[in-house]
Structure 1
Amino acid sequence: MLKKDSMIIVGGGIGGLAAALAAAEAGQKTTILEQAPEFGEVGAGIQMAPNAMAVLDRFGVSEEIAKIAVFPKRLVLKDVYTAEELTTLDLGDEFKERYGFPYIVLHRSDLHRVLLEACEKSPLVELVTNQHIETVEETADGVVVTNASGEQMIGKALIGADGLKSKTRSLFVDDEPICSEYVAYRGTIPIAEISDDANMDDVIMWIGPNLHVVQYPVRRGELYNQVVVFKSYNYKEGIADSEWGTPEEMDKVFEGAHPKVEKALSYISRQIRWPMYDRLPIPNWTKGNITLLGDAAHPMLQYLAQGGVQALEDASYLADMLNEHGNNYEKAFKAFEQERQPRTAKVQRTARTWGEIIHAEDEVSILLRNTIFKQREANDFSYTDWLYGQKYGQGTKKKVTN
């Protein structure tokens, strides 16, 4: 059995790397166990709201992020059939002054790379690959992890940051990911290929009954990110993932969409699809010297663009608690959970609700939604204060007051 004088972090994604930076800030050594042969991130774009930027600034990576990010001027909701602007959120100076930080968009792999490089520079962080962790157990000697080859490693404490399909989560609850019956196709293309249609200033979401498309530039404006999402009418419980939400069904459900949306679909990569899952909030994700973080604790649907953001918030508050409680991991983890569980549960539930709003299909709901959307001003931040105004950066929780 290999013994480590460090905390063990299971999972080397955005949440796991951020957790290592949090621990390093508190003077704690960590060993990150990543199942892949090398550290990396798949997917396409990711949106970082001010509550994420506060954390990235705290961990000293915001300047590096700014070199590769795009700073959009607006969030825009458009009708998928008519291209009518239904509502916008101004991301300019008033927004930044209110929340303290800007709203950015970038490629997931770029964000992951910057966090990884920060971890590589830290003498307190060890990175280990090819670790398919099967079991986690707390013993009198420490927390023992066993990988798929039967090899064991023991650490002082453990953070499960192993995502939606977390093995660590099974210590706390016997649940399974819940299929939303929606599927996403994601990808980026060189901006030059669609320069006539690409809007470099906006994050655009085209919405319609049971479907939407998101578009925005990434990587300094060199690439254009597109996400196509729709509900599959071929889904039924027990069906193989490959048999529902197919490219052929995508073409069918988007029939009649605005020409710009149809053109977006023509560019989207059809080889890889992401069925969309979440899980229900759980009241407890801490036990002794073991805790969960990010999607392992609170996997959510993507409709608020807060999955990665909430993992960063987790890491920042975890840093606060490790700074306060030192090697008393049980106390630090429990205080971390008590603060973060209500917040993340609200975001999880709201993400589901927002999905129902933007995907409304009956005429009355659509009329009511669009009427409310059109009545609000672009600088009306009353709907976003609860989400963006509560920050966990700079070592002190800050909350916007109206």
Structure 2
Amino acid sequence: MARIIVAGGGIGGLAAALGVSRRGHDVVVLERRRAFEELGASIQLAPNAFWALDRLGVGADVRDKAVFIDELRFMDGTSGACVARMPLTGSYRARFHNPYAVVHRGDLYEPLLRACRAAPRVELVTGASATGYTQDGGAVTVALADGSSVAGDALIGADGIRSAIRAQLVGDGEPRVSGHTIYRSVIPMEQVPRDLRWNAVTLWAGPKWHFVHYTIGGGRYLNLAATRDDGATVAVAGEPVERAHVLSEFPDLGDTARRLLELGEEWRTWVLCDRDPVGDWTDGRVALLGDAAHPMLQYAAQGACMALEDAVVLGGLLDCDAHAIAPRLEKYAAARRARTARAQLVAREMGTRLYHPAGDQARARNAMLSAFSVTDLYDEVDWLHGFGPSGGPTGGSVR
């Protein structure tokens, strides 16, 4: 079989290592940091993510720490009116074969990491920052920042939105700055009044802003995320910000949403970035995966879900010897390109057409959403949440 190098030890990189190693390949995961760890607070997992996690062998472990959500709520952020509800229990689970859940990012990452550590064919290497690659007809050599190198039969670039592997393969420069600033806070649930403890992912939409909150950490914490469409032009990642500043950015927030926002403490801020879809993720024995291939805004809650799908499809297609890897990587990219591009563009559109309009446009949006039946709402997300058991190219099983 083959020796596969994975650049990047995040969610996508570890998932790729599991998917590929289960095909009998040896995998070396290169992580630039000094430890394998996942930063960030929370993540939403739709049924397509659980479909992938089950095939990677970690679905049960992720479920153990997940909060299974009863519904998605879309609220008018200024009036406080409920515009639309999508139930996520009985008929939803029957249709999509899995639940919808939220987890702390660590509660997704740790099962992947444990599974990689337990896998005899997976080697985890820290302090190894990939800077580029060279290849001949039968091998790839990955250059590292310390001047050393690692060789293998193929390279999977899973090194994030600022991927060094993508920079060489695609060469499309810096990520696109969205102009949207997000403020995040996580607070203990005991600080939340009981009348505000809802088992729902709730989004309050207002003019050039929106506010999302939901429970994480097995019900121990409330995650708050408030976003302004403020025209920001410089990328920012995780900088502390004063509570008073956050509250001042959302003056039109209705009473209930305001109560929730005021609970936030120790806020941090990011300026959101993504990239345009591209037509080619492969270069011979090199391919991209996850945010290195298709970074997207958070508004469809699908970034990690898409990376997990990538890993399953990639693993399913690499049931081959080393000499056949390059055409299989091309097949993987072809299977994933259109779906992930659609998710990227839909996420952008949701951030403008659905979440941030004002005046007549907001009223038209509310009228459109409130007219949807529950079945209509399920039909709208079927292409996304129904991947795997309900259709879509699976690339074979990795079980």
TM-score, normalization: structure 2?
0.92
How far has the Cα of 1:392 moved from its partner? 7.2
- Aligned match for 1:165, one of 162, 165, 177: 162
How far has the Cα of 1:31 moved from its partner? 0.5
How far has the Cα of 1:197 moved from its partner? 4.5
How far has the Cα of 1:301 moved from its partner? 0.5
2:255 & 2:194 partners in 1: Cα distance? 13
**Is the contact between residue 146 and residue 153 of structure 1 (CA under 8 Å) also seen in structure 2?**
yes
Give 2:178's aligned amino acid. S
- Aligned match for 1:52, one of 46, 49, 54: 49
- Aligned match for 1:317, one of 298, 313, 316: 313
> Partner of 1:215: helix, strand, or coil?
strand
- Aligned match for 2:282, one of 286, 294, 302: 286
Match of 1:182 in 2: 180
**In the comparison of the two structures, how many residue pairs are matched?**
390
Say whether 1:359 aligns with 2:355: yes
Say whether 1:115 aligns with 2:112: yes
**How big is each residue's C-alpha offset from its partner over 1:187-213, in whole Å with a ceiling of 9 and x where there is no partner?**
322111114244342111111111111
**Is the contact between residue 230 and residue 250 of structure 1 (CA under 8 Å) also seen in structure 2?**
no
Give 1:199's aligned amino acid. R
Give 1:223's aligned amino acid. Y
**How big is each residue's C-alpha offset from its partner over 1:302-341, in whole Å with a ceiling of 9 and x where there is no partner?**
0000000000110111111012x34321011000001100
1:133-172 aligned at under 5 Å gives the runs 133-140=130-137, 142-172=139-169
Say whether 1:388 aligns with 2:359: no
**262-271 vs 327-336, which deviates more?**
262-271
Identity of aligned residues (%): 35
1:109 & 1:393 partners in 2: Cα distance? 28
TM-score, normalization: structure 1?
0.91
**329-338 vs 200-209, which deviates more?**
200-209
Match of 1:224 in 2: 222
Say whether 1:26 aligns with 2:18: no
**Is the contact between residue 17 and residue 29 of structure 2 (CA under 8 Å) also seen in structure 1?**
yes
Match of 1:371 in 2: 367
1:367 & 1:260 partners in 2: Cα distance? 20
1:346 & 1:240 partners in 2: Cα distance? 24
Give 1:130's aligned amino acid. G
1:257-268 aligned at under 5 Å gives the runs 257-268=253-264
Q: Relative to 1, partners in 2 of residues 1:240 and 1:377: Cα closer, same or farther, differing over 3 Å? A: closer
**Is the contact between residue 77 and residue 85 of structure 1 (CA under 8 Å) also seen in structure 2?**
yes
How far has the Cα of 1:27 moved from its partner? 1.1
How far has the Cα of 1:278 moved from its partner? 0.3
- Aligned match for 1:298, one of 294, 297, 306: 294
How far has the Cα of 1:275 moved from its partner? 1.2
How far has the Cα of 1:240 moved from its partner? 7.1
Give 1:93's aligned amino acid. G
2:241 & 2:308 partners in 1: Cα distance? 33
**Is the contact between residue 312 and residue 394 of structure 2 (CA under 8 Å) also seen in structure 1?**
no
1:6 & 1:337 partners in 2: Cα distance? 20
Q: Relative to 1, partners in 2 of residues 1:200 and 1:61: Cα closer, same or farther, differing over 3 Å? A: farther
> Partner of 1:180: helix, strand, or coil?
strand
RMSD in angstroms over aligned alpha carbons?
A: 2.3
Q: Relative to 1, partners in 2 of residues 1:231 and 1:153: Cα closer, same or farther, differing over 3 Å? A: same
The gaps in structure 2 that reach 5 residues or longer are none
The gaps in structure 1 that reach 5 residues or longer are none
How far has the Cα of 1:261 moved from its partner? 2.6
**Is the contact between residue 241 and residue 268 of structure 2 (CA under 8 Å) also seen in structure 1?**
no
How far has the Cα of 1:379 moved from its partner? 3.8
How far has the Cα of 1:112 moved from its partner? 0.4
**How big is each residue's C-alpha offset from its partner over 1:246-268, in whole Å with a ceiling of 9 and x where there is no partner?**
65653333013123333333333
Match of 2:103 in 1: 106
> Partner of 1:205: helix, strand, or coil?
strand
How far has the Cα of 1:141 moved from its partner? 5.7
